[in-house]
Amino acid sequence: MRAAAATVMGIAVAAVMAISIPWGLGTYGETFYYSSDSMGFAPLGFLVIYLAIPAALLTAVLTAMLGVRAKDAHERAVMAALGETAGTSIRRAVLVGLRDGAIAAGIAYAFMGAMHLAVESANGWPSFTTETNAWATRAVEGAVGIVALTVAHLISAWRRNRSPVELSRAAVGAYRRPKTGHLAVRAGVVLAAAAGLIVGLALTHDGDAGGSASGLADGAYMTVWIAAVAVALTALLPAATALAFRGVGLASRVADRLGSTQLAAVLRTRSADRTKAAARVVLVIGVFGFAAGALGAVDTGVRHSDSFAFIYTENPTDPVETVARIEAMDGVTDVVAADVVGLGADDWTEVVAVDPADLVGVDDELADALLAHPGAAVASSSLAGGDASRDGGVARAFRPDAVVPLVGWGLAYVDATEVDLDSTGHTYLVYVSEGADRMAIGDQLMDAVLTSDGASPASQGITFPAGQDGGYSWETPDLGASLFWIVVVVLALAPVAFTAVRAGTRDAATLTALGSPARAVRTAVAIEGAVLGLTAATIGVVSGVATGALTEVLDRARLSLDGVITDSYLAVALDSINWVTSLGFIVVVSLAYAALAAMVASAVHLETPAEALKEGTATR
Amino acid sequence: MAVDHVDLDIPAGVLTAVMGPSGSGKTTLVHLLAGLDRPDSGQVWVGDDEITAMKDKQLAKVRGRIVGFVFQGFNLMQTMSARDNIVLPLRLNGLPQDPEWLDALVEMLGIGRELERRPYEMSGGQQQRVAIARALITRPRVVLADEPTGNLDTHASAEVLAHLRVSCRELGQSVVMVTHDPTAASYAGRVLLFADGKVAGHVTDPTPDAVLAGLDALAGVER
């Protein structure tokens, strides 16, 4: 299982590394600018913290995988019987983890690096000139993967003062529900206490940006995440295992009702045959599901209308003439003119002052937010509190009373009729018809002005909303990103299915030797895979979604201390659910695991039960 | 080649022992007889049925209803109780349970206290008895046993062998037993001596001394 665990780590790390490749390089062409700043220690440290929860979940997956095959545990028992001390065993495990991790992460790093260079080369950019931070980012991600695999090996080698005989019995492969009740209860109490603290602070404090209450809430928020993961791993996913075994029993009764008595008999046997391998498979899929549900939670807040394409800035300019010129372009349906502050290089956020009346019927959600909260900024929630004073553009523009969260990007909208800005120029919100090529319109707009009268405007630029730059992340709620992550999970499940099915070869061969047709056994393996996959994926995703929604709500409560306005916490909870990823994960992963299990069962099924029995003896 | 040019007739009602050095093809022979393995060439018949010509479904029926097999490594389902292991062939083949027959087997094999335990909670001898009970639970016409008394003490071995001899005589079963123990072989009506995948000789009405003499002669031939 060592190789499978290293493979899964490599796939997971490669997938995360792929996020930082500049996939959109060709799409944007001249309208897009790539920075090449070097990355300091602070952002790298932030990245490690950002990756802490995914790394913890990856560690859980890898630990579960290392326990799928009883042979590994058996070998550890033999080594203990031969005199190997616990300390030596752990040191050996750590070295194995480091070596396997370095190889897997190294391959992933090299492959994704080559991909980065290929994307640059294919789009005519010199090597190492775009997204240069990504090289350091990927190195950190690789290091986090190595740590995850090493910790998983360490946990697997941990003996808990067992004697060699006890280790030997534990290595048999029978599933025993872990005694984690106390741990789950403690984690639940910590979760409730931390959540209660955040809610309490939110109710009793107001406008405490950067204060002690705000710092306390930040700490409680991190605690909520850690405790929620602990509850999932110690209570929810073990419950999924018990449920999955019952599910196989239910499948047996269904098969019996349908007249497939032999299939029913095999399924009944497999339901009673509660192996550690099957339990670990449930845990692996469940953790993946939890990650999909929790980390896939989408940002909540005001969203632009679907027809919104980009913001175009051109100065100096005549707003009336410019609006007319842009509206005349093919595919453009509406253009809203606004004033802007913060076009300097040090300005993180551009503040756009727009009349909400101009947005009614064009961009209703934004219009409603501006009308409902005059004096507030509709902006990224990070703008709230202390961040505003550090942001050059915003600091020069105004001090917002409050912030209504805006999904996606570094713009702040204010009601031009309520906030008096010292404008530094004009900007235009451009809306297009469905199916229009937004990038092409942007390029056309830039080119047209560059060539008009042979003179360039003093400043000109286009800013696209996040999620349209050809890249993806686990928070991007579009179909392509969801499919990408689901494919990654399916790839990672392949070695899990292979090892789990092979671990059961001996039992499957015994059933065949006792009179079950090989086909019935193979079908049962596939059905069992579907049931295990469906149960694990469902409980994993549901618990992940619940965690994601809870943390999103608590995040908003925490941010309320910094002045972030939330109209409805229930709406926030519901809006945070990434339905495409969640439902897609449940359906695709359970079907994929069943298919993988069936394929592996067919592939490892040897010509005769005698051969399979020999093979099973060798692999058990 | 594990088994080569073997022409055998295993009569009903006779306990047949197969002996020979390790690697001589004994286990392969019983696997072929049970339909667990397919020969590259040749035929295996059980009664009037040629099992080497059967498709998977027919073969499964033979394995489940006609043949009972005691594996050398027991091959018990580790996560199921002894009772569930014993009745497993009945469940898999849709056969009715016969509590009296189960009780008789349990009593004969002395595993009454082990019925609710898992295999990994039992000794090797106890696991072997459960494996024997599982092989006999369907009252098969053919019983094939690979070292069925290898892990049993003298007293238990004698009981099991005596039962196999009685049941094959009274039920008309064909029983083939692979063993390295001349005393165990002496319970058989006939001992086949195997070497290099071939039948190198046989001993009828064997005694431990006669079996040892036959094995010594076999060793002399090999030298």
| DSSP state letters, A286-330 | HHHHHHHHHHTPPP-SB---TTEEEEEEEES--HHHHHHHHHTST
Which residue from A596, A594, A615 is spatially nearest to A606, judged by alpha carbons? A615
What percent of chain B stands above pLDDT 70? 97
Q: How far is A6 from chain B (nearest CA, A)?
A: 29
With a cut of 0.85, is the ipTM above it? no
Q: How many A-B residue pairs are in contact by the CB < 8 A criterion?
A: 95
Which residue in chain A has the smallest CA separation from B62? A515
Q: Which two tokens stand for residue B128?
A: 């072997």
The answer to the question of residue B59 being in a domain is: yes
Helix (H, G, I), strand (E, B) or coil at B45: strand
Domain that holds residue B52: 15-75+140-222
The structural domain count of chain B equals: 1
CA distance A12 to A484: 12
* Least reliable range by pLDDT among A181-195, B149-163, B168-182: B149-163
Residue B223 pLDDT > 50, yes or no?
A: no
| Per-position b or e across A144-168, b if 16+ CB within 10 A of its CB | bbbbbbbbbbbbbbebeebebeebb
The answer to the question of residue B33 being in a domain is: yes
The answer to the question of residue B184 being in a domain is: yes
Residue A595 pLDDT > 70, yes or no?
A: yes
> Between A175, A265, A268, which is nearest B79 by CB?
A175
Mutate to test the interface with B, among A169, A253, A514, A521 (most CBs of B within 10 A): A514
The answer to the question of residue B113 being in a domain is: no
Q: What is the pLDDT of residue A545?
A: 93
Stretch A414-427: mean pLDDT: 80
How many residues are given for chain A?
A: 620
Which of A23-37, A166-180, A523-537 is most confident?
A523-537
Q: How far is A290 from chain B (nearest CA, A)?
A: 28
Q: What is the pLDDT of residue A30?
A: 45
Where along chain A do its domains lie? 1-172, 218-302+472-620, 308-463
Cα radius of gyration rounded to whole Å, chain B: 17
The answer to the question of residue B10 being in a domain is: no
Q: Is B79 near chain A, with CB under 8 Å?
A: yes
Q: What is the pLDDT of residue A245?
A: 85
The answer to the question of residue B25 being in a domain is: yes
**Terminal CA-CA length for chain A:** 11
pLDDT-based confidence at residue A547 (cuts at 50, 70, 90):
very high
Q: What is the pLDDT of residue B221?
A: 57
CA distance B66 to B46: 9
Q: Are A309 and A442 in contact (CB under 8 A)?
A: yes
Interface list for B 142-181 with A (CB within 8 A) = none
Contact at CB, A269 and B57, closer than 8 angstroms: no
Residue A348 pLDDT > 50, yes or no?
A: yes
What region, left, alpha or beta, does residue B77 occupy, with left being phi > 0 and alpha being psi -120 to 50 degrees? Answer: beta
Residue A469 pLDDT > 60, yes or no?
A: no
CA distance B130 to B163: 14
Q: Are A275 and A502 in contact (CB under 8 A)?
A: no
Which of A106-110, A373-377, A582-586 is most confident?
A106-110
Half-sphere exposure of A269 (CA within 13 A, CB side): 34
Contact at CB, A513 and B69, closer than 8 angstroms: yes
Cβ partners under 8 Å of residue A43, min gap 6: A133
The answer to the question of residue B32 being in a domain is: yes
Residue B211 pLDDT > 60, yes or no?
A: yes
Residue A35 pLDDT > 50, yes or no?
A: no
Contact at CB, B92 and A617, closer than 8 angstroms: no
Residues in A closer than 8 angstroms to B144, CB to CB, are none
Q: Which residue has the higher pLDDT, A514 or A503?
A: A514
Residue B148 dihedral angles phi and psi, to the nearest 5°: -70, -15
User: What counts of helices (H) and strands (E) characterise chain A?
Assistant: 25, 8
Q: Are A421 and A352 in contact (CB under 8 A)?
A: no
CB atoms within 10 A of CB A453: 6
Cβ partners under 8 Å of residue A540, min gap 6: A232, A236, A237, A240, A285, A286, A287, A288, A289, A290, A292, A293
Mutate to test the interface with A, among B77, B80, B137 (most CBs of A within 10 A): B77
CA distance A601 to A512: 13
> Between B34, B60, B84, which is nearest A516 by CB?
B60
CB atoms within 10 A of CB B75: 25
Distance of alpha carbon A611 from the chain centroid: 43
Q: Is B120 near chain A, with CB under 8 Å?
A: yes
**CATH number of the domain within which B168 lies:** 3.40.50.300
Residues A473-486 pLDDT 10s: 344 445 666 677 77
Q: Is B78 near chain A, with CB under 8 Å?
A: yes
Residues A549-587 pLDDT 10s: 999 999 989 888 878 888 888 988 888 888 888 888 888
pLDDT-based confidence at residue B56 (cuts at 50, 70, 90):
confident
Cα radius of gyration rounded to whole Å, chain A: 28
Q: How far is B139 from chain A (nearest CA, A)?
A: 13
Stretch A273-284: mean pLDDT: 78
Q: What is the pLDDT of residue A178?
A: 63
pLDDT-based confidence at residue A249 (cuts at 50, 70, 90):
confident
Q: How far is A517 from chain B (nearest CA, A)?
A: 5
Which residue from B8, B57, B92, B71 is spatially nearest to A610, judged by alpha carbons? B71
Compute CA distances A448 → A48, A455, A458, B194, whole Å. Answer: 44, 11, 15, 94
